[in-house]
Structure 1
């Protein structure tokens, strides 16, 4: 397989855009406040979604190594961008840019694409990579975002209150001890992944419903696009080529890593910005632009990158 059909991405794209449109209508016509929705996502929906996913995936040392590697890469990128951005952007803008630089829409957008492109084993590998990015979002990424508005102590207190880290540790404990989560509980949590996607994308629309023309910051959006569609594809390609040079790398893992590098900006950029009050309108515009560009850029990127790594 050396080409990606753009039609593969149209289903996920139109679904996500429809959710954004629903959010816009909710804000403009129903005056829905997105802040409580962001709080609900961060403190309830996201932790239960990833607890369920981790339990179902059956974590192994090899899978968790992938999680740790993606967490480390995302954190390193964000720290470097934060140091550089402080010299050219306002504190809240540099904090938001740093957060967005370490993550992407690996879940809402990337997962439906992974389900089409990858076999079940590859999807599992992809999910554990996504878990590393998500852990970054709610630890290092959240801290860097909070530092644009709060002191070090206040930022650490906010991280300590985030339940996703505890959900991750609880899932590891349950799996490590061989405990069985009752089927009724797992069935009850089955609704959370879809809820996570729906509310996460609707928040973008709710935020866009409040955006005025003056919120369009070409310099900020340009930096976001350059990192997401310039830096990340190059890093993912270099990672795959480097790993192939050291030991045999399965095609499923190679494609999973490449996909991590080409997804659009994360919707959680808006969720976290909304929770912390750091320029959510600018974040929403940048997320929307990179999402609209996805069906044009991702097939091209993946086709060229797959040829480069011999897939």
Structure 2
């Protein structure tokens, strides 16, 4: 637990300070990290944990459960009254797994569990770029971009790289060689989250989303994302008797804060931008408390 806090809080704080001081820095770092760093890090973690039955089980389970939650939030009238726009519905179901959840799993879980965390991330990426634009009522052009966005996802690239490398006779030495570079890459990913939030604050994108009225509006989505969604995963994985490491990885990924991609999609659709910005900032800050709490509960 101490290791998690020592990695999360200083890294996010440093990123926030850098984003406020150098607002152009994230734009220079992010393309390199997304194109080369995250795929390499994800591939190294998958080589260490293995592409096995637990990986497929976690991916299928996450895909079904996240899709069910997203559809229920959108279709059930009582839930739609709590979350009146697509940004709130998507933000309540979609977590920042690549840049927040996987570093958390790396800090808290043994290597065999990391594959399940990455499987959750792949499932969430797939759903966020298929159902997400529809929830936000964006144009058909934006819906068509789903294929490009999914194909450009760093998690997808990392999975494909790991799949290819696992077929070679050098899987184990490569896994050992890339282990510490992978950890460094994921710390840089956390740093980028902090920088992105700092830029949002510096540019005033969060100012309108953090008054008392907005807090009341965001409270249901925050409760679902940080409390009810991981609780749902914890209960159902226990009921189904999933392996302990798989269950732990899925719960921790479900507890990740709202994904920054929700804000990007809201900006593209022109709907719920302030709500999405507020969710990203507040959920990330609150996750510094709720994620360690979930780790304590599941243990």
Say yes or no: TM over 0.5: yes
> What displacement does 1:25 show?
1.4
Number of the residue aligned with 2:119 = 132
Are 2:41 and 2:186, in contact at CA under 8 Å, matched by a contact in 1? Answer: yes
Alignment partner for residue 162 of structure 2, among 166, 171, 175?
171
> What displacement does 1:74 show?
2.0
Report the 3-state secondary structure (helix = DSSP H, G, I; strand = E; otherwise coil) of the residue aligned with 1:294: helix
Tell me the distance in 1 between the aligned counterparts of 2:139 and 2:277: 25
Within 5 A, what are the aligned runs for 1:47-126? Answer: 47-84=39-76, 93-94=85-86, 96-111=87-102, 113-115=104-106, 117-118=108-109, 120=110, 123-125=111-113
Tell me the distance in 1 between the aligned counterparts of 2:234 and 2:66: 15
> What displacement does 1:235 show?
0.4
Q: Under a length normalisation based on structure 2, what TM-score does the superposition of the two structures give?
A: 0.73
> What displacement does 1:141 show?
0.3
> What displacement does 1:15 show?
2.1
- Would you say how many aligned residue pairs link Structure 1 and Structure 2? 286
- Structure 2 unaligned segments of length 5 or more: list them: none
Identify the structure with the greater helix proportion.
Answer: 2
Number of the residue aligned with 1:290 = 283
Are 2:259 and 2:280, in contact at CA under 8 Å, matched by a contact in 1? Answer: yes
Number of the residue aligned with 1:229 = 226
Are 1:99 and 1:137, in contact at CA under 8 Å, matched by a contact in 2? Answer: no
Q: Deviations over 1:220-253 (max 9, x none)?
A: 4213212113321320231233024xxxx55444
Decide whether aligned partners of structure 1 residues 163 and 258 sit closer, same or farther in structure 2, where only a CA change above 3 A counts: closer
Q: Deviations over 1:194-233 (max 9, x none)?
A: 3322223311221122235323323542132121133213
Are 2:44 and 2:179, in contact at CA under 8 Å, matched by a contact in 1? Answer: no
Alignment partner for residue 158 of structure 1, among 146, 157, 179?
146
Decide whether aligned partners of structure 1 residues 274 and 136 sit closer, same or farther in structure 2, where only a CA change above 3 A counts: farther
Alignment partner for residue 204 of structure 1, among 197, 203, 207?
197
Tell me the distance in 1 between the aligned counterparts of 2:20 and 2:188: 18
Q: Under a length normalisation based on structure 1, what TM-score does the superposition of the two structures give?
A: 0.71
Root-mean-square deviation (Å) = 3.9
Number of the residue aligned with 1:12 = 7
Are 1:41 and 1:196, in contact at CA under 8 Å, matched by a contact in 2? Answer: yes
> What displacement does 1:37 show?
6.1
> What displacement does 1:134 show?
1.8
Report the 3-state secondary structure (helix = DSSP H, G, I; strand = E; otherwise coil) of the residue aligned with 1:150: coil
> What displacement does 1:32 show?
2.4
- Structure 1 unaligned segments of length 5 or more: list them: none
Report the 3-state secondary structure (helix = DSSP H, G, I; strand = E; otherwise coil) of the residue aligned with 2:130: helix
Are 2:83 and 2:89, in contact at CA under 8 Å, matched by a contact in 1? Answer: no
Alignment partner for residue 260 of structure 1, among 243, 253, 262?
253
Are 1:78 and 1:141, in contact at CA under 8 Å, matched by a contact in 2? Answer: no
Q: Is 32-41 or 235-244 further displaced after alignment?
A: 32-41
Tell me the distance in 1 between the aligned counterparts of 2:93 and 2:105: 20
Tell me the distance in 2 between the aligned counterparts of 1:124 and 1:32: 37
